[in-house]
Structure 1
């Protein structure tokens, strides 16, 4: 089965509910970066050519205890994602993508 990369974005607006935006990056063409603005506000960016997600402090203010808690959750989730990718990665998949379509991958 071929797994082409894509970015999936939805917006749900329902009466009597806050709008909800969902962004799914299903691509290795993802740029992740972090920076600090004015030495007071850290920012984390996840970006593809089709979309951007920016994470920063509450109300664009100084770092709160809640912001620090979220940063710890992000770190732990990213570490689990890395561990799962390393565990599930198969070099055969990378080689088959590079093989000529008319040839069988070894």
Structure 2
């Protein structure tokens, strides 16, 4: 069985299409916060010891309809992630020798 060591992975890709940053948090050292700045701008902050991701309103300005839609999508996907974690944790607790599952579909 493969050992599952925690890590945070950050990759920057530069090519003719522009710059892309990919960050994967696979660590128990992750914190998630929702904050509101003094000016009333909301922030979603995910952070590990090695990297952080901050999501806020479009252009750092007032909340737009698109910002509300994105916030709803984040909440829906987070609820699905929670349900999957709870289900798999229960299954793994009752059958600790089960085979490792394949990676699932993207949200």
Match of 2:21 in 1: 21
Match of 2:9 in 1: 8
Q: Contact 1:12/1:21 (CA < 8 Å) preserved in 2?
A: yes
Higher Rg of the two aligned structures? 1
CA distance in 2, matches of 1:21, 1:83: 28
TM-score by length of 2: 0.81
Matched pairs, number: 92
CA-based RMSD of the aligned residues comes to 1.3
Unaligned runs of 5+ in 2: 97-107
Q: Deviations over 1:22-56 (max 9, x none)?
A: 00001121000011012521001000000000000
Q: Which of 73, 93, 107 lines up with 1:91 in the alignment? A: 93
CA distance in 2, matches of 1:61, 1:7: 30
